Amino acid sequence: MELRGTVRFRFRSPEHDVDVLLEGDSKWVASLREELGLAGEVGIVQPLAARMVDSDEPEPESATGEDEEFFEELPLPEEAVLPGPPPDPSRIPPVLRVIGSLDVDSSITELGGRERSDPNIPAIIEVLDEVQDEIEPLKDNLSGNPLAEAWIQLLLTLVVREHGHTSLPVSLIAEAVSERINLHGIDLDIFLDRLWTMGRLERIYGGVETQYAPNPSWLEAQ
């Protein structure tokens, strides 16, 4: 009789600081024990998924066959054919640019955009004076002061569309509309912060002072 299947072999010799643990097929474990000189009555063999059979009992055949590999290489798929003519890189014109050579202002002008210029606050104030009787509060009253919001919206619209700037410092906002909306100093800062919290303005840090930029969708609000 012999043991076939998965077994575990353990040998310890504390005085020689030796600890051997082998786990696997019984024949493989037996061959390693012989190589290590641990065959015979040395150590303990524990069956894990093994059974005692007659020595002359044939080994069970593998489900995949003895002459077949367990894993067969899968056939490669046929090469995919792309629609249209084959690509021709020579027909693509090379575009070479030197880093830093792009003139943004001139490119915007070529596309029909306005040249960027410094906001002329006195001139903007004159425009605001001309439309003072026409300005109406925004229909959305979430800010708590729709008339003040309408004035700031008009101011930033002029700055963006007439001067090509995307933001304006708090001091220039105050110079242009503080008297019209009756908000000065900390009161104006609180109102601008409220519009920023609502997502209608973007706050920009850096430079001499904080600036605010309008959300494009807010500029179209009525």
* Per-residue pLDDT at 197 exceeds 60: yes
**Tokens describing residue 149:** 């919001």
What angle do helix axes 146-163 and 186-197 make, rounded to 10 degrees?
A: 80
Q: How far apart are CA 109 and CA 91, in angstroms?
A: 30
pLDDT, residue 70, reads 47
Q: Which domains does the chain have, with CATH numbers?
A: 2-53 (no CATH), 116-219 (1.10.10.10)
pLDDT, residue 187, reads 93
Question: pLDDT tens digits for 13-69?
Answer: 888 888 888 888 888 888 888 888 888 777 888 888 766 666 666 666 544 454 445
Question: pLDDT tens digits for 95-137?
Answer: 777 787 877 777 767 776 666 778 888 889 988 988 888 888 8
**Tokens describing residue 35:** 């190589």
* Per-residue pLDDT at 166 exceeds 90: no
pLDDT, residue 177, reads 92
pLDDT, residue 67, reads 47
**Tokens describing residue 84:** 């249209």
Please give the average per-residue pLDDT across 186-211, as a whole number.
89
Please give the average per-residue pLDDT across 198-218, as a whole number.
87
What angle do helix axes 170-181 and 186-197 make, rounded to 10 degrees?
A: 100
Q: How far apart are CA 147 and CA 134, in angstroms?
A: 12
CA distances from 84 to 9, 22, 55, 77, 141 (A): 65, 61, 68, 21, 57
Residue 79 pLDDT grade (very low, low, confident, very high; cuts 50, 70, 90): low
Question: pLDDT tens digits for 135-156?
Answer: 888 888 888 899 999 999 999 9
User: β-pairing, 201-204 with 211-214?
Assistant: antiparallel
Q: What is the mean pLDDT of the chain?
A: 81
Residue 159 or 52, more confident: 159
- Amino acid 163 reads H
